[in-house]
Structure 1
Amino acid sequence: MIDKNPVDYATSPDMVEKTKEGPVLEGPKTESSKDTVAMTNDLLDKLKQIDKEYKKHKLKTGIELDFVCSWEDGRPLRHSHATILFELGASSQEISKRLRHSRVSTTDDIYIHVKEDIKKSTADLFNQAVEKIK
């Protein structure tokens, strides 16, 4: 999730911890986690568009939302970010550096969620390798 107050499109978002009482905002866990994240102009434009929609929603309903970005299934943005990048072919090491993890194993074991289509494509790759040996 990206904290709405204030939206600073150039810096990384605060961490959000889920509790029984609701989300609790915290700063990054370590000093090395304080950093900026590279974004394309397209992504920046999309975030600005989402911010405009937020403002329209607030004017129309009077309801102030705490977050600009979140996923309907509740998965944290960092996990989705890692999984999407992995599905598109980014290496675990690249993703780990982007998320500022000190160990690639943290990214692999906790943040990247391997979906069924990835498992199938991995099986297909192995099958191709076996076919070449024949």
Structure 2
Amino acid sequence: MITDNYASADYINFPKRPPHKIECMSDEDAKRFYKFILDYPDIRYKSAMLLFLLAGFRRGEVAGLEWKDIDFDKGEITVSRSVTTVTGFGMIEKEPKTEMSKRTLAIPEVLLETLKEYKEWQTKRRAELGDYMEENDYLFTQENGKRLYPSTFTGWLNKMLREANIDHYSLHSLRHTNITLQIAAGVPIVTVAARAGHARASTTSDIYAYALRSTDKMAADKLGSIFSAQEKLAETLKLSDQETVSDTDETDAVAEFKHIKAEMQRLGFETLEEYEEYLDFLEMKRIKKRDFEM
């Protein structure tokens, strides 16, 4: 009787899937696009692109956001749902990609302020359109108030890239750019993974191995600077101790000078030379007395 499954992974070394190359914005393009976003006149486009670039959200996560997911007091956003389009069914709301994709993360002040501005704009827009606009809590909607199709964000990005005269990038590349920049900035991989909604930190390190290689050099440089700083600190403390000793010597010298000056005045000597001759005389008398006693 065969009790083991010899076709299982315990007995077969399955080849590992080679990591796919991810698309990120270049540093220059990322800076240019960020500045372009900040100056963009349409608050809807501006809000959406900042969510992708600064929060690193997936397209379906942004489409699924509702105003109740944003805590303006704490400066946090919670991802608790995702939206996707299914042929024959249209848009459907579903659970996020993984359990870890359900997450709450802090967002930069510039994004928070932009979302406040967008909320005010949307409130006014709803008042203008009245009953025509469906009443709901969606962040991004169509003109009639229904939820915005996730693919719409791709169109917005393409339009903005053309206007900014920046090469084509996919919407997901903004997420990759966000994660890569965090790693390059030295943010711990566990924190990066949590913000990205990855199930495991190893997933992040596998996908973004190229970025981690660049931080490896950064880590080496930091280690070198740490030990160099310790050496400099030790040298500084040594010099400080020496200066302290010098200060002590100076204090003793001043006290000794004052004592000698007072003695000279008491004994009536006008010059230091006379006082030293007097001290020599006393020493000579002491020696003679000692020799006599011996």
TM-score bucket of the superposed structures, by smaller chain = 0.5 to 0.7
Larger helix proportion, structure 1 or 2?
A: 2
Counterpart position of 1:19: 86
Contact 1:37–1:98 (8 Å) recurs in 2: yes
* Residues 107/45 of structure 1: CA separation in 2 closer, same or farther (3 Å cut): farther
* Residues 90/26 of structure 1: CA separation in 2 closer, same or farther (3 Å cut): same
* Residues 79/7 of structure 1: CA separation in 2 closer, same or farther (3 Å cut): farther
| 2:118 counterpart of 1:57 | no
- Output aligned runs, 1:34-45, within 5 Å: 34-45=102-113
Contact 1:12–1:35 (8 Å) recurs in 2: yes
Contact 1:14–1:27 (8 Å) recurs in 2: yes
Counterpart position of 2:147: 66
**Cα distance in 2 for residues equivalent to 1:43 and 1:13:** 19
* Residues 57/104 of structure 1: CA separation in 2 closer, same or farther (3 Å cut): same
Report the 3-state secondary structure (helix = DSSP H, G, I; strand = E; otherwise coil) of the residue aligned with 1:37.
strand
Report the identity percentage: 21
Matched to 1:18, the amino acid is T
Query: Which of 98, 122, 129 is the aligned partner of 2:195?
Result: 98
* Residues 23/80 of structure 1: CA separation in 2 closer, same or farther (3 Å cut): farther
* Residues 30/4 of structure 1: CA separation in 2 closer, same or farther (3 Å cut): closer
1:5 Cα offset (Å): 4.2
**Cα distance in 2 for residues equivalent to 1:4 and 1:15:** 8
| 2:178 counterpart of 1:85 | yes
Contact 1:85–1:95 (8 Å) recurs in 2: no
Query: Which of 47, 65, 68 is the aligned partner of 1:7?
Result: 68
In structure 2, the gaps of 5 or more residues are 1-61, 72-77, 133-143, 158-170, 209-294
Query: Which of 5, 17, 28 is the aligned partner of 2:96?
Result: 28
1:71 Cα offset (Å): 1.9
**Cα distance in 1 for residues equivalent to 2:193 and 2:65:** 25
Larger strand proportion, structure 1 or 2?
A: 1
Greater Cα radius of gyration, structure 1 or 2: 2
**Cα distance in 1 for residues equivalent to 2:207 and 2:118:** 28
1:39 Cα offset (Å): 0.5
Q: Deviations over 1:73-110 (max 9, x none)?
A: 278xx8354134257x33385654421212127855xx
- Output aligned runs, 1:105-116, within 5 Å: none
**TM-score, normalization by structure 2:** 0.29
Matched to 1:41, the amino acid is E
**Cα distance in 2 for residues equivalent to 1:81 and 1:7:** 24
* Residues 32/85 of structure 1: CA separation in 2 closer, same or farther (3 Å cut): closer
Give the superposed CA RMSD: 3.5
Contact 1:5–1:66 (8 Å) recurs in 2: no
**Cα distance in 2 for residues equivalent to 1:81 and 1:100:** 15
In structure 1, the gaps of 5 or more residues are 109-134
**Cα distance in 2 for residues equivalent to 1:27 and 1:105:** 24
1:49 Cα offset (Å): 1.6
Contact 1:15–1:25 (8 Å) recurs in 2: yes
